Structures are given as structure tokens and as C-alpha cells.
Amino acid sequence: MDERILAITSRDIVAAEAHYHKSCYKGYTRTKPEKSDDNQQEEDPYQKVEKAAKKMLSEFIRNDLFNKPRILPFTELTSKVITFMNQKGIYYEVTDATKKHLRRKLEAEFGEALHFFTISRLVYLRPDNLSYESVINENVLLKNKLQAYTQNDDFDCLIVKIAQFLRHEIKCEIPEQTWPPHPQELSEGYLPIPDNLMKFLYILLCGKEQTPTLRVNRLSWSIALDIISGVTVCKVLTPKHVLLPLVVKTLTGNVELIKTLKRLGHSCSYSVLVEIDTALCLEKLENTDNNRLPLPSDIHPGVPTVLAFDNIDRQEEVLSGAGTSHRVNGIIVQAKSMTCAPPKPQLSISKKDKKRTIRSSDIPLPVYTAGKRNGPAPVTPADLSEVLKDAAWRAQRRNILFIIERAQDPTNQTVSSWTGFNILTRDNIPVASDTVGYLPTINAPATEMTTV
């Protein structure tokens, strides 16, 4: 009842009159001595996961491919290994050498029970129990279907039905949107995309049904949002059609570029973008007391906070050189934390108002009166020599590895830069992104003590 031997033979051993050498029998039935705990070295976690992935692949071939004989592309096996490794938290890149190693392992394990062949530079595998008659029958059926689709007028009707079906699904599955859309909510889960639309785009970009890559996922998501915006005549605001013009406006400040993107279907109109900014500002002012400054809604009291300020002076071209703008911008950075503070009520703003401007009110700064300088008491720093020595040793070892890896092939460089290398080789410490928000602009010079 050795499953590995039974999978290799794939038929009755007695009826096939199988034979074996005496030396092979001794090697097969020999009991291997177990390694002692003293001599057994701890195995690398990466190697453990890689062995588990290859074992999973072998079990898939035995339990699935041999039970349901069919022709399978070799890329499907490699994608299963990549998915398994990624689920274990390990980035795994399949190179040509890795494919050769994986193929040799399967050939050595299954022998003549598994056949590899190449068609149009793509490798396929066929189990031994798949008869040629079934392959020929499947080929004939596919040719007949293809001929019926290409020579029949119903093919045009099929395209029309698919387009109408996807259009109906898009209009039925789009929920009612709240106004205004908040930038922190505009993620991939903000707008549900019909599964059939994503499947259609996957097959359209890949040519066949398979596990989509990161590139295919990104393009499918972008094209799907353009289709939803086009079908709904821009009545549905998608994350792409709001965030993309915001980024373009921040980087270039060019309104004509946003209008061009709108005509091509990649953005909302500039007027809608200004309405969103105005609605967000009104919502912020409504939820802020008159005696307090408007702070971001995801900033909470009692949490260690970092503030950063910088001047954003604007030197207007005037004849006298006076009267130029002096302002100070600030950002607030705070670690994400759980809070029991009640949620702030959101202002219900009517989208029909279409407000694009608001009245600004300058907040007067309190007058600062300088007094005698009084600094903090001196403190005795802790002795961190041993901790710093250990950290410096680890950093030096990583730098040596980085230099050696980069020097292997300077022309065809595959190793990331110094920062990326340290990120990939760091310990498995979860890193959480902080909350970053913008503070109100101070309309005063940054050099005055009142502003400081």
C-alpha cells in the first residue's frame, strides 16, 4: 500500500508482470537510521516551507491529476507553489533554474507515469493513464465549437448578450454612495465590482482562465472602474476617478490635464473635484467647536503625537517687493490605536448644492511675550553600549551580505537597493502605518515668535 509506488505504476503490478532487482529490493526495504538530536541541525524555515510546497504539489498530482486525467500546463503547477509560499509569508520567485529543478524532481518521482512535452515554447504535462483517444476526442470537439463560433452569425448575438448581461450586473450591484467621499475610504473595497466583470477582464488580458498576476489584477481593477464610470455616465464616483485627479492636481496643478483625463474616462470632472474638496472642508468645520482648531477626524487625544511645521512662503511679483504671502503648513503624525471615543457625527451635505467656495476666517494668534529662558533639568543618559554594539554588528553583517550579492552580476542586477534589501532581510516584525493628517494653515511668517 505504498502510494508513491502505486502512483508510479498506475496499473496492476501482477498483470503487468513487474520485476525488480535484488539490490533494489534491499535498498527499498532497508530501514534508515534516525538522526540523533546532537547531530541534527535546525533546518532553515525557508527550506521547510519549500519542502512542504513541493510535497503539496506531489499530492496534487497523485490525488487530482491521476484521478482526473487531463493535459495540464506547467505554469499552473508553478503558480500553486508561489501561492503556497506567499500564504506562508515568503516571497518566492520562479526562475528558469527553479522550473528545471522542479521538473527534474517530478520526473524523478513519477518516472514514466508523467510525460512532459512542449508546444509553442510552453511546457505541458500528461499523466500516463490519459489515453490518446480522449485527447483526440477533446481536440475534435474544441475544433467543432471554434468553427461553429467563427462561422455562425450567433457569435455577434453572443457578444451583445454578454455586454447586456455585464451592464445589467453593474447597474444592479452598485450601492448608493455617501457624500462627500472621504479619501481614506477610497480603497479597493470601497466600490464592489461584479465578479463576472473581473473574470471577463482576467480572461481577456491573460487569454485563458488562470491565477491572475499582480499586473493583471492591477490592470483589471483599473479597467473595471473605467467601465463602471462609463456605464453609469460618471454618476458613480470610483476610487480611481477621485484619487487620480487629486494626485494630478497636487503634483502639477494643471487643470487642463485633469480635463483631458476626464474626456478619456479616467477621471471625474474638475468641478466635481472642487465640490468634493469644499464638501470635505464644510464637514470638517461643522464637526469642530468654535473655540478649537479643526483637526483630522482620525486623530485622538491621549496618544503620543508628532508635529512638523514648515513655511510655504509665496513671493508674488510686485513692484515694491512687499506684501508677499507668508504662511506655515503643519502635519500631524500619530500611531494607530484603539479608542473608545464616540464617533464624530458626519454632516449630511446635499450634493445638489454644488458649492465650490467657502468663506475663510483667519484665527488670530495669541501674542507671545518673551521672558527669561528656562530649559529642562539635565538628565543622565542610560548606558546603551552593549545594545548598540550588538545592533552595529548585525547591521555590519547585513551590509557585507548586501555588497557580496550586488557584486555578483553588476550588469543584470536583480538585488534591490540598500533600503529594499534591508526591508526584505529584516526580522518578521509587523510594521503598522501611522496616521498622517494635515493641520490648518497659519497665515503668518514662520520667523515671528508669535507663530512659533
Q: 3-30+42-143: what CATH class? A: mainly alpha
Q: What is the pLDDT of residue 7?
A: 67
User: What pLDDT, in 10s, does the model give residues 109-151?
Assistant: 888 888 888 887 888 888 888 887 888 888 888 887 777 666 6
Q: What is the pLDDT of residue 332?
A: 94
Q: What's the length of the chain?
A: 452
Q: What is the pLDDT of residue 189?
A: 80
Q: What is the pLDDT along the chain (452 residues), one digit of tens a residue?
A: 677 776 666 566 677 677 778 777 777 777 766 655 544 455 566 777 778 888 888 888 888 888 888 888 888 888 888 888 777 777 767 777 778 888 888 888 888 888 888 887 888 888 888 887 888 888 888 887 777 666 656 677 888 888 888 998 888 877 778 888 887 788 878 888 888 899 999 989 888 877 888 888 899 999 999 999 999 988 889 999 999 999 999 899 899 999 999 999 999 999 999 988 888 888 777 767 666 677 777 788 888 999 999 998 877 676 766 667 888 999 999 988 776 565 555 555 555 567 777 776 666 788 888 788 888 888 888 887 887 888 888 888 888 988 988 888 888 888 888 888 887 777 677 777 888 988 888 888 888 888 88
CB 71 within 8 A of CB 126: yes
Q: What is the pLDDT of residue 222?
A: 92
Question: So where are the chain's domains?
Answer: 3-30+42-143, 154-268, 301-368+433-452
Q: What is the pLDDT of residue 12?
A: 67
Q: What is the pLDDT of residue 227?
A: 93
